Each structure stands twice: as C-alpha cells, then as structure tokens.
Copies of this chain bind each other. A is one copy, B any other.
C-alpha cells in the first residue's frame, strides 16, 4: 500500500477546528437540554419528529428513515423512552410485524417545555456568532458532503 495523500496545512487546520467545534458544541447542547428539561438530544430529535405529524405517531422504520439512525439504535432509544413514559408502542393493524410509536401527553409536555431553551441555546452558541453568508455557506457545505455520502 503506497502512502496516502495526507491533508495539507489548510485541511488539517480546518479538520481539527471542525472536530473540536462539533465535540464541544454537542456537549454543550446536550448538557443544557439535560439540565433544563431532562431530555437528551436523542430524545429531543425523536420527539420533534413525532410532533411533526399531527397524528403524533410514526412507524419505527419511518422514524429511522427520517432520523437516519441505525435500526437498533432507534429500537433501544424507543425502549428507554417508553420506560420513561415519553412514547408508547401500539399494535399496527396493517402489518403484523410492525408497530406504531405514539407520543404521550408527557412526551408532548416535555418537548414543549424543552424547545424554547434549546433553540435559544443553539442560537446563542452557534448562529449569533455567524454572518448570513456563513450560514448559507454551511448549508451548502453540509449538503455537498451529504451528497457524496450515499
């Protein structure tokens, strides 16, 4: 195996800065959410997707597709959330293998209570420091990378 094309100086700096930013940022967001509302980022994402449909319920495979999570990660996550009363599993009449995941009243309360503080934090830690151009450039960059990931 011949030696790879290493990263050049610009790329190294960018990569290190990116890794550091993403580590510290998600740690902060997780801590804020956990401390202020007892939810993890994972809980938050699941609940957001459930409340997006006004029925408040989804098949696990739909959630999986939307969140782009591993199947078993989702399954474990739902088990934990069910144990805490945030969601409920219901039978699925159409498909004997399947299930519906339904958000509970408690789940709704939790996400409603958590959202404002979370959004404020995302703003305060991230968007408030960026120009409009940086924001659109970021979206472009992320979608460019995502396109190549499939």
Chain A interface residues toward B at CB < 8 A: 1, 3-7, 10-11, 13-15, 17-18, 20-28, 68, 70, 116-117, 119-120, 122-123, 125-130, 132, 134-149
**Copies in the assembly, this chain:** 2
Interfacial chain B residues near A145, Cβ < 8 Å: 21, 25, 125-126, 129-130
Q: Which residues of B contact A134 (CB under 8 A)?
A: 137, 140-141, 144
Bound state CA distance, A139 and B4, in angstroms?
A: 23
Can you give 18 contacting A-B residue pairs, CB < 8 Å? A1-B116, A4-B116, A5-B123, A7-B123, A10-B136, A13-B139, A14-B136, A14-B138, A14-B139, A15-B122, A22-B26, A23-B68, A24-B68, A25-B145, A125-B149, A129-B144, A130-B144, A130-B145
